[in-house]
Amino acid sequence: MAKLMLGNQAVARGLFEAGVDVVSSYPGTPSTEITEFAAKYDEMHSEWAPNEKVACETAIGASIGGARAFCGMKHVGLNVAADPLFTASYTGVNGGLVIGVADDPGMHSSQNEQDSRHYAIAAKVPLVEPADSGECKDYTKMAYELSEKFDTPVILRLSTRVAHSQSAVAEEERISRDIGAYVKNAPKYVMMPAYAKPKHVFVEERTAKLKEYAEVCPFNRIEWGSRDIGIITSGVAYQYAREALGDGASYLKLGLINPLPEKLIKDFAAQVKKLYVIEELDDVIETHCRKIGLSPVGKELFTFIGEYSQSLIKEKLLGERDEFEEYGENVPVRPPVMCAGCPHRGLFYILKKLGVMVSGDIGCYTLGAAAPLSAMDTTVCMGASVSGLHGFNLARRGEYEGKAVAVIGDSTFIHSGITGLINIAYNATNSTVIVLDNSITGMTGHQNNPANGFNIKGDPASAVSIEAVARAVGIDRVTVVDPNDLKETERVIKEELAAAAPSLIITRRPCALLKSVKHKSPVKVDPDKCRSCKACMKIGCPAVSMSTGKAKIDPTLCVGCGLCGQMCKFDAISEG
């Protein structure tokens, strides 16, 4: 009996069935659930690593040790893991090694829209791309066979609509597989120049063999329909094209994206009247087609930007549009906001009040950039808040040292904030770093991390002391404060900004959505005391609004954190 599974869940099932032993990942939307589901299988060791580089190196080590190994990440995570990837391409594998990466066209939950396929080309490793959950499982299993047959890491690339769509998957048994022997082999695994030079020759020879394989790879298939239109496509773009054109076109659906076949594509092109390449993001397949002498219609018609859809393809190729009715009146937007009771809210209110420059980072707290708090100046990548603040303070030559802070979450600090903090201490800027410790990796849906004392299974684990790390790297001023205590938070930030030394402030309160956090009853407004001053609205809480001139609390949203009560000068808001 087939089951509905997320693409990510099907990848995890594929890992299980392929006999994988070691899974090490860092959470990142839309890749997170691969590892969450993998952790449900006791037959595999699954873990959250501090960052993607560590995860990838852990998987490489496990592969060298003879296990089938996996690491998962989002597209920008592969930037962090790129260093080990490029050289693992040279060493090759012992047990099969697969790197799962999920791209986010349309940027549902990301800071950029990069196309991971470029990494496979640059690192000279095969890349496979499934188009639904069934393929997610099958391609995952096949990726291990490719990895071991061709002695190479393999990239499994998903996109949001494949990772986060559910479709039917048939479960099979886990293969029984012994851990292979480990034999010391320095020329294979020690990549110093003398050994790396012959390995580059090996990599080029491997690519030549993979090119031959691409011609017969079962993942590259032709579906014949009308030969007036020929579509070369892959991943979810294939599904959109199928939906839009049905049997009105023929399809070359590519599953192995690096290396791409030459003869197969040329043969297909020769049998259709008009050739199109339909691929989201960059023109990877199209460029290959041009390189082998074809002239398909691709990005001249389709965009480099955002997600595609059946509607887009119907409109571009057939000139057809579906009819629809607009509501007419202006519908107010509903942007994402910090949750009611979010411990980040108090901190960002104080930062706005103080008017400081805020060097931001990646996590729920990036929402501090949104109105009405609007208290964030920059967000680049994981860790950039801390190292970026150091650079900013160098540029302003002390002018901003009492007027700028970095904000970074607990998990992000462990991921890549510590090295930036070392730089602040070592190269001596008077910088103030705030770690927003909510005891969880929040934005990606509540994953434990090395600082919260629990492992991926929820079992107690060693916990990093953020205070001790700061002191150990040379930051002497370390303070912990409850961000729901507005007065104390303001006092501490002012004090640390004024101090003549670098400092670290930890705002510590667990995420309001954690099951372990007990909520209080919703707060109550006394309409007789309410002077309609709207001070309570300044914190941007979704549970607080104005109704007939008085403050109103939505009891279905309010968790009784009391922040709005601290804002009220007239004691109009009291505990429920």
One-letter amino acid at 178 equals D
Least separation in angstroms between residue 235's CB and other proteins is 12
Q: Which is nearer to other proteins, 6 or 123 (CB)?
A: 6
Length of the chain measured in residues: 576
Q: Do the bridges between strand 229-234 and strand 250-254 make them parallel or antiparallel, or are there none, so unpaired? A: parallel
Measured between alpha carbons, how far apart are the two ends of the chain, in Å?
Answer: 50
Q: Under 8 Å CB-to-CB from 86, ≥6 apart: which residues?
A: 122, 123
The secondary structure of 515-566 as a DSSP string is TTSPPPPPPEE-TTT-----GGGGG--TTEEEETTEEEE-TTT-----HHHH
Taking the complex as a whole, how short is the minimal distance between the CB of residue 549 and other proteins, in angstroms? 12
CA distance 377 to 385: 10
Helix (H) or strand (E) holding 436, with range, is strand 432-437
Nearest residue (CB) to other proteins, 134 versus 391? 134
- What is the closest distance, in whole angstroms, from the C-beta atom of residue 23 to other proteins in the complex? 19
CB of 381 to other proteins, least distance (A): 15
Reply yes or no: is the peptide bond before residue 105 cis, omega within 30 of 0: no
**8 A C-beta contact, residue 230 and residue 269:** yes
Residue with smaller CB distance to other proteins, 177 or 552:
552
C-alpha span between 313 and 237 (Å, rounded):
9
Q: Quote the least distance from Cβ 355 to other proteins, whole Å.
A: 19
Candidates 157, 153, 146; CA nearest to 124 is 153
Return the number of the residue (245 or 466) whose C-beta is nearest other proteins: 245
Question: At its nearest, how many Å lie between other proteins and the CB of residue 326?
Answer: 6
The number of C-alpha atoms within 13 Å of 501 and in the hemisphere containing its C-beta is 10
Q: Which two tokens stand for residue 476?
A: 């002497």
Pairwise CA distance, residues 286 & 284, whole Å = 5
Q: Which of 482, 448, 559, 545 is nearest to 513 (CA)?
A: 559
Q: Which is nearer to other proteins, 369 or 478 (CB)?
A: 369
Interface ranges with other proteins (CB under 8 A) = 2-4, 6, 29-30, 32-33, 108-109, 132, 160-161, 164-168, 236, 239-240, 242-244, 307, 309-311, 321-339, 364, 366-367, 370-372, 443-445, 534, 537, 540, 542, 544-546, 554, 556-557
Run of H or E residues at 504: strand 503-508
Nearer to other proteins, 326 or 528 (CB): 326
Of the candidates 50, 124, 63, 150, the one whose C-alpha atom is nearest the C-alpha of residue 98 is 63
In whole angstroms, the minimum distance from the beta carbon of 444 to other proteins comes to 7
- Name which of 424 and 543 has its Cβ closer to other proteins: 543
Least distance from other proteins to the Cβ atom of residue 540, Å: 7
* Residue keyed to tokens 């912990």: 480
Closest CB to other proteins among residues 25, 431: 25
Nearest distance from residue 330's CB to other proteins, in Å? 8
Nearer to other proteins by C-beta: 351 or 559?
Answer: 559
Q: Measured between alpha carbons, how far is 253 from 223 in angstroms, rounded to an integer? A: 8
Comparing CB distances to other proteins, the nearer of 336 and 576 is: 336
- At closest approach, how far in Å is the CB of 6 from other proteins? 8
